[in-house]
């Protein structure tokens, strides 16, 4: 039997560009590690200052850090257009993160596990009124002594389809960090 009067479900294609983060990260400057990257190809969105739509490739970075209370937190960047133009926001963001020019042949997945000092702000969605955290600034970790205190990627667990960020303490076993000694690949 077909349901002829289905309730209308509001769905935004922008949901594809979000990690499912369970709690907002606190505002402030944090030392963090890139935990995951989400790339969405052929993303269709409304054209800027024009009629119709445009298709773009997008990328979002997910960072994890330990807050002042010892709780694992996650925060993501906004969705960058994937572009290798030296003037693009993505290239500017990565240059600020690395503190240097991007090497030839560089691939975005090389940033997973890369540590940084991030500036976290909380924003309010104009459409939904939902409060969320975002990254407003990034630099290499300046205090080299703090690099050792930033957890590795292995300390953060991404659940299911890699889009649900679950703190590692929710799992009984702690996975060792991959090294050249214990990495089978």
Domain locations in the chain as residue ranges: 21-167
Cα–Cα dist 138/141, whole Å: 9
* pLDDT score for 22: 78
For residue 96, the 8-state DSSP code is H
The residue to which tokens 């052929």 are assigned: 42
Query: What pLDDT digit, counting tens, does each position of 68-115 carry?
Result: 888 889 999 989 999 989 999 999 999 999 999 988 888 998 999 999
* pLDDT score for 14: 62
* pLDDT score for 17: 66
* pLDDT score for 21: 80
Cα–Cα dist 91/3, whole Å: 48
Cα–Cα dist 98/108, whole Å: 12
* pLDDT score for 169: 44
* pLDDT score for 15: 64
The pLDDT averaged over each successive group of 10 residues in the chain (185 residues) is 42 63 88 91 81 88 89 90 92 95 89 94 86 93 84 72 46 39 36
* pLDDT score for 55: 86
User: Cβ distance 70 to 33 under 8 Å?
Assistant: no
* pLDDT score for 52: 85
* pLDDT score for 16: 63
* pLDDT score for 147: 85
The residue to which tokens 């209308």 are assigned: 8
């Amino acid at each position: 039997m077909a349901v002829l009067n289905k309730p209308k479900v509001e769905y935004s294609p922008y949901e594809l560009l979000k990690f499912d983060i369970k709690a907002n990260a606190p505002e402030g400057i944090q030392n963090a590690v890139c935990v995951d990257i989400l790339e969405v190809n052929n993303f269709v969105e409304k054209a800027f200052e024009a009629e119709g739509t445009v298709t773009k490739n997008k990328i979002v970075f997910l960072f994890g850090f330990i807050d002042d209370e010892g709780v694992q937190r996650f925060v993501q960047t906004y969705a960058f257009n994937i572009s290798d133009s030296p003037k693009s926001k993505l290239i500017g963001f990565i240059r600020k993160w690395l503190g240097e020019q991007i090497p030839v042949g560089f691939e975005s997945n090389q940033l997973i596990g890369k540590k940084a000092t991030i500036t976290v702000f909380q924003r309010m969605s104009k459409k939904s009124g939902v409060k969320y955290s975002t990254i407003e600034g990034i630099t290499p970790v300046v205090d080299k002594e703090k690099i050792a205190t930033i957890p590795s990627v292995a300390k953060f667990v991404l659940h299911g389809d890699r889009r649900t960020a679950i703190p590692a303490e929710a799992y009984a076993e702690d996975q060792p960090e991959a090294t050249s000694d214990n990495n089978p690949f």
